[in-house]
Amino acid sequence: MSYSAPPASAMQSVLRLFSIPSLAKLGVGPLIAAAVLVMIVIVTLLSPWLAPFDPLEMNPMNRLQGPSEEHFLGTDPFGRDIYSRVLIGGRVSLLIGIGAAVVSVLIGLVIGLIAGFFRLADTLIMRVMDSLMAIPSILLAIALVALNGPSITSVIMAITIPEIPRVVRLVRSVVLTAREEPYVEAAIALGSSMPKILFQHLMPNTMAPLIVQGTYILASAILTEAILSFLGAGVSTEIPTWGNIMAEGRQYFRVKPELILWPGLMLSMCILTINLLGDTARDLLDPRLKKRGE
Amino acid sequence: MTLQSFRSKGASRVRNLMAGALMASTALAGSAAWAETTITAVMHSGLRVLDPIITTAHITRNHAYMIYDVLVAVDGNFAPQPQMAEWSVSEDGKVYTFTLRDGLMFHDGTPVTMADAEASLKRWAEKDSGGQIIMDRTESLTATDDKTLVWTLTEPFAPLLDTIGKQSALPPFIMPARIAATPTDTAITEHVGSGPFKFVEAEFQPGVSVTYVKNEDYVPRDEPADNMAGGKVVHVDKVVWSTMPDASTAINALLGDEIDYIESVQVDLLPLLEGDPDVINEKREPLGYQTIGRMNFKHAPFDNVKVRQAAMMALDQQAILSALVGNPDYYEICGAIFGCGTPLADTTGSDSLTSGGDLEAAKALLAESGYDGTPIVLMAPTDVVALAAQPVVASQALRNAGFNVDMQPMDWQTLVTRRASQNAPADGGWNMFFTNWLVPEISSPLVSPMLNGRGDGAWFGWPEDEKIEELKAAFIAASSLEEQQKVAAEIQAHNMEQVLYVPVGQYALPQARRSNIVDMLPSPVPVFWNVKKEE
Amino acid sequence: MLGYLIRRVLAIIPVMLIVAIFVFLLLRLTPGDPAAIIAGDMATPEQLERIREAMGLNQPIHTQFISWMGRLLQGDLGTSLISGTPVITMVGQRMFPTINIALLTIVIAVAIAVPMGVLAAWRHRSWVDYAVMSFSVMGFSVPVFVIGYIFILVFSITLGWLPVQGYAAPAEKGFGEFLYRGILPALTLATIYIALIARMTRASMLEVLGEDYIRTARAKGVKESRVLFRHALRNAAVPILTVIGTGFALLISGVVVTESVFNIPGIGRLTVDAILARDYPVIQAMILITSATYVVVNLIIDISYTIFDPRIRY
């Protein structure tokens, strides 16, 4: 991006999150959520060292074993260690979630700024965004993955594209309000350069709602990755992700429910805590933003 | 007769295998209940394509056996028997005269004539490789009247009856001439047969459910049913094939008496059924499937025979089969390209495959071949349970041997379209894939699709191999089973040297039924005549 | 009012046109050969070429688009490449299970979620409120299929109360049988919806409960249940309706998954199967149809605002 330092107001609104008074107001709920999430993240980041086995190492002669001292959660249909796979699987799931959240926020931000600022582009952009919103996101995502192949990038794109319109709408509505503010009108009247107006005056206003929206997108992207894998349209089955482990476990649900329950539990905990923190951030940053995902 | 002796040896083996497997087919008709009986069955995949001549998909063939009939059918000893027609062969073996039996009607009410059979056989012979071989030797194929069909050859072709009586991949089903007039690059749109069941068009939901009702006008033969031959006596009013999205769902439904039958049960899930006295699981047909690997001869690195050999050396049947099937009762390590338990079985050159793979030999061969690390595009279907494990285990073995493997997961339908592409692997083509064949489909060089060396005219992978064509000609010319076995052994050795394909072993998928479903035929094709549903 | 209606309906046209262009390009610009699917297992390169020619796949892309749109406008949605069945027939067969289960889902969701939300708002900051809010966050966080499998494990396998799979058409098998088979998938689908609606009901009730006329009603001694359900809920209806509308997209994604867990022959499975099998005409038609439904559902909801909320007038 071509702007220099982020303006003070944006930084302030983010920093406000971590100030002692506001944290104290929150009570223990969000703190527990944060602790759990941090733990999940640390465990998945350290998974290459924590996992007792190579998650890809097969041992077909030792398949579908029950829990044992060697394999805490038993082995899967290829004789791979489920515990190691669940640990490592979180990495890719989180990577996809974060990737999708960052990319959709960035793209949505740029398009939203343009739509909010340039009246001519606005109509066209918003028509296209309305149309994209009309296509059920899961169908669009499955189609995109099925047609572009099951790579991590293609899954991130497939999750990102349906999210963009939501970000665009949000950014645009913020910009539309902000550009009526006297200091923005003054900047326009004074002939400030376009990038300066966009990035220095308008963009900071979008930071708070975007952080909130970003956490929701992160949660929903992790969930979507799992659903895509479950339907057979996710990341290559060679890469363990929570979704892939559950998809593989589908056939074996009656004999090996661990394959769905453990990754399902990790995934749910992860999304739950992100959602809770998102709610907290929303309450802190902008009490007016009550509806989610609109 | 050469073919007779060919059969009799295989016959005893087959019979032994069957003896333990299933029940006798002749039972007295039970009390004729008037209540409508319906069998709800979960088949191995959803039915989508209805034209049995344009696809080799087993589900489509199984559908065709429900609604169509065939002139000649094989019995449990693989011997051709009359079904719609009797036949006589001229002294010189060049003229086959078929005579249609009486009382056969198509489901639209018109009588079956030999003109229909002629049109159906001609359409079939355009697509089927066995049919093409016969047509190369055909002088004329004509219906001389409503009941008589004369097939005149330019030279004797002993396996003619076996070829038109075969149960897969493409049996010649008889349709009305007007439907058989459809060109082979277009699917038929009308589904009218003369078989024991009628297709209920209004209830057909592609990929989800298909309904058949008993054809009340069908006149079965008098002989007891035996494999695909004999009388097709229907004891149920309706058969519904329903597709279940996953194996657990089907198992749960069978346990809950919501369905009557599952065609193939994943072996790993058998323990769930074993506790229930009202559910019986069993091997349906004795020989089962052969799972195979095929490489693409058109592109590097598998255009180099040393690299193909190295890849084969790296593979271990035991590892692949145990990942695929699990329970050793249901798989058999087998290095014979014609399948173990068949008359032509020979295991020359398969030692590494059947004894854990030979990584050192594979590495040595690979080094010798000058393999430059070109990635191997290994297509891996993820949505077909019986095909999902092979590429996953194989990719690990190939990597261990020093190959650079690019395993690309995809659904089976994509694989099917992609394997037809002759493009470079990086450009939408491929290097290797796995599939499964019923053992009868590969049990002879005349039927095995992989043993075709005609380059672009060959099966996917397109080897150009004159030697295999010569060996096949020698096989056709062989006059006794011993001679045929000798040629077959040469073909085996040639295959393992050239690696036309890699046999990865045999497995059986058990079927499961409610205990009130009795007298199911132990045929390789699951059929719904003869079977009864008790109250 | 009439002018607003007409404008609102006309606005659908550009949206659907862009959806159509998008869907068309999505499928045509990505690799994959519809001809290879039609041609079957043993096609030769010449056969493939003939089929491509006959299907018009060799024509320039804009020509293909115009002829496709032309057929679309005449109501011709195309024919499945795999089964040769007209798409319209397939949709006709598969639509009712989905619609029926979706309606059951909405009924269940509203029946459970609205009282939950009202209760939470009424007992704001009590344990009831926290329980409702925790449940609602949880509803968002557990994947639909995991919920489905847990329900199957508990209600079908362990308790043996309900069947594990299948669908019974209410018209053929009776409403009782439909409920018996439909309740588990509907409940599975409903969890996320319940979460959403309960949350929204609570939020809008909290807002309304603070308003003067509620205080007046209470002061006048109107019974508390009447205050909650007659006065407050009626005014909270608009945001709740909005959620049902925007939740439609969630419903679609839930339907796709639930139908494959419970083996329901609906349009969700039809679409996923079509995408995985590269059945292009069916994919195009299904995405268009679901998008059109989404647009129409939201249109109806927009219009119904005027009925539910006397404050909104156009």
Give residue-wise pLDDT tens across range C8-36.
788 888 888 889 988 888 877 766 667 76
Q: Which of A60, A49, A43 is nearest to A266 (CA)?
A: A43
Which among B266, B396, B409 has the least Cβ separation from residue A58?
B396
User: What is the amino acid identity at position A85?
Assistant: R
CA distance B445 to chain C (A): 18
Give residue-wise pLDDT tens across range A90-109.
998 999 999 999 999 999 99
Residues of A near B (Cβ–Cβ under 8 Å) read: 56, 58, 60-61, 63-64, 77-79, 146, 149-150, 232, 236-238, 250-255
At C31, phi and psi to the nearest 5? -65, 160
| pLDDT interval class at C187 (50, 70, 90) | very high
ipTM, interface predicted TM-score of the complex: 0.80
- Best mutation target among C30, C164, C279, C286 (most B Cβ atoms within 10 Å) is C164
Alpha helices in C29-143 (DSSP H): 34-39, 45-55, 61-73, 87-122, 127-141
Percent pLDDT > 70 in chain B is: 93
Query: Exposed (0-12), middle (13-18) or buried (19+): which is B4, by Cβ within 10 Å?
Result: exposed
Res C31: pLDDT: 62
User: Taking CB atoms and an 8 Å cutoff, what residues of chain C touch B46?
Assistant: 273
Contact B520, B280 (CB under 8 A): no
Res C32: pLDDT: 64
Res A293: pLDDT: 34
Q: Give the start-to-end residue ranges of the domains of chain B.
A: 69-178, 289-507
| pLDDT interval class at B381 (50, 70, 90) | confident
Q: Which two three-digit tokens encode residue A215?
A: 């956490």
The Cα–Cα gap between A278 and A30 comes to: 10
Mean pLDDT of C172-194: 88
Res C314: pLDDT: 46
User: What is the amino acid identity at position C203?
Assistant: A
Give residue-wise pLDDT tens across range C117-141.
888 888 887 888 888 888 888 887 8
| pLDDT interval class at A20 (50, 70, 90) | low
Give residue-wise pLDDT tens across range C213-259.
777 877 787 777 777 777 777 777 777 777 777 777 677 778 888 88
User: What is the amino acid identity at position B82?
Assistant: P
Mean pLDDT of C75-96: 85
Mean pLDDT of B118-142: 91
Mean pLDDT of B341-355: 90
Following CA atoms B438, B441, B443, B444 in sequence, which dihedral angle do they give, to the nearest 10 degrees? -170
Contact A213, A105 (CB under 8 A): yes
Average pLDDT, chain A: 82
Verify whether the Cβ–Cβ distance C141 to A272 is below 8 Å: yes
Contact B453, B466 (CB under 8 A): yes
Q: Which of B488, B498, B162, B478 is nearest to B336 (CA)?
A: B488
Mean pLDDT of A226-244: 86
Mean pLDDT of B435-441: 87
- In this predicted structure, the answer to whether residue B69 has a pLDDT above a threshold of 90 is yes
The Cα–Cα gap between A244 and A89 comes to: 8
Res A290: pLDDT: 44
| pLDDT interval class at B493 (50, 70, 90) | very high
Res B24: pLDDT: 34
- In this predicted structure, the answer to whether residue A62 has a pLDDT above a threshold of 70 is yes
Distance from the Cα of residue B326 to its chain's centroid? 23
* A13 membership: H or E segment, kind and range: helix A8-16
The residues with which B238 forms a beta bridge, in sequence order, are: B38, B213
Contact C263, C94 (CB under 8 A): no
User: Taking CB atoms and an 8 Å cutoff, what residues of chain A touch B410?
Assistant: 150
Res A196: pLDDT: 82
The Cα–Cα gap between B150 and C241 comes to: 74
User: Taking CB atoms and an 8 Å cutoff, what residues of chain B touch C51?
Assistant: 185
Contact B162, B134 (CB under 8 A): no
User: Taking CB atoms and an 8 Å cutoff, what residues of chain C touch A271?
Assistant: 140-142
The listed CATH number (3.40.50.300, 3.40.50.720, 3.40.50.261, 3.10.105.10) that belongs to domain B289-507: 3.10.105.10
* Closest residue of chain A to C246, computed from CA coordinates: A294
| pLDDT interval class at A289 (50, 70, 90) | very low
Following CA atoms C32, C60, C12, C78 in sequence, which dihedral angle do they give, to the nearest 10 degrees? -60
Contact B534, B278 (CB under 8 A): no
User: What is the amino acid identity at position B363?
Assistant: K
Report the 10 Å Cβ neighbour count for B184. Answer: 19
- Best mutation target among C263, C278, C280 (most B Cβ atoms within 10 Å) is C263
| pLDDT interval class at A279 (50, 70, 90) | confident
Res B27: pLDDT: 35
Res C312: pLDDT: 54
Verify whether the Cβ–Cβ distance C83 to B49 is below 8 Å: yes
Verify whether the Cβ–Cβ distance A260 to C295 is below 8 Å: no
Percent pLDDT > 70 in chain C is: 90
- In this predicted structure, the answer to whether residue A23 has a pLDDT above a threshold of 70 is no
Strand order, beta sheet including B289-295: B331-332, B502-507, B289-295, B432-438, B376-381, B405-410
Express the helix, strand and coil content of chain A in percent, nearest 5 each: 75, 0, 25
Q: Which of B522-534 are b and which e, b meaning 16 or more Cβ less than 10 Å from the residue's Cβ? A: bbbbbbbbbbbbe
Res A21: pLDDT: 57
Mean pLDDT of B177-197: 91
User: Taking CB atoms and an 8 Å cutoff, what residues of chain C touch A294?
Assistant: 246
User: Taking CB atoms and an 8 Å cutoff, what residues of chain A touch C15?
Assistant: 127, 130-131, 134
- Residue B432 or residue A76, greater confidence: B432
Res B240: pLDDT: 95
Res A211: pLDDT: 87
Give residue-wise pLDDT tens across range A122-181.
888 988 898 888 888 888 888 888 777 778 898 999 999 989 998 998 999 888 888 888
Bond prior to B169 in cis (omega within 30° of 0): yes
Average pLDDT, chain B: 87
* A128 membership: H or E segment, kind and range: helix A119-134
The pTM of this model reads: 0.80
- Residue C192 or residue B304, greater confidence: B304
Res B390: pLDDT: 93
Verify whether the Cβ–Cβ distance B245 to C260 is below 8 Å: yes
The Cα–Cα gap between C83 and B45 comes to: 14
Contact B286, B16 (CB under 8 A): no
The Cα–Cα gap between B187 and B52 comes to: 9
Choice among A262-266, B306-310, B324-328 with the minimum mean pLDDT: B324-328
Res B102: pLDDT: 94
- Residue C118 or residue B366, greater confidence: B366
Identify which of A198-202, B182-186, B211-215 has the greatest average pLDDT: B211-215
Contact A100, A217 (CB under 8 A): yes
| pLDDT interval class at B267 (50, 70, 90) | confident
- In this predicted structure, the answer to whether residue A15 has a pLDDT above a threshold of 70 is no
* B503 membership: H or E segment, kind and range: strand B502-507
- Best mutation target among B190, B249, B456 (most C Cβ atoms within 10 Å) is B249
Contact A116, A122 (CB under 8 A): yes
At B509, phi and psi to the nearest 5? -105, 120
- Best mutation target among C33, C37, C41 (most B Cβ atoms within 10 Å) is C41
Which among B266, B269, B382 has the least Cβ separation from residue A232?
B382
User: Taking CB atoms and an 8 Å cutoff, what residues of chain C touch B245?
Assistant: 260-261, 263, 269
- In this predicted structure, the answer to whether residue B198 has a pLDDT above a threshold of 90 is yes
CA distance B251 to chain A (A): 9
* Closest residue of chain A to B413, computed from CA coordinates: A146
Which among A60, A237, A251 has the least Cβ separation from residue B246?
A251
Mean pLDDT of B92-115: 95
Average pLDDT, chain C: 81
Which among B185, B256, B258 has the least Cβ separation from residue C39?
B185
Q: Which two three-digit tokens encode residue B383?
A: 């949505």
Half-sphere exposure of C56 (CA within 13 A, CB side): 10
Choice among A16-25, B66-75, B497-506, C105-114 with the minimum mean pLDDT: A16-25
What architecture is the B69-178 domain classified under in CATH?
Answer: Alpha-Beta Complex (3.90)
Percent pLDDT > 90 in chain B is: 56
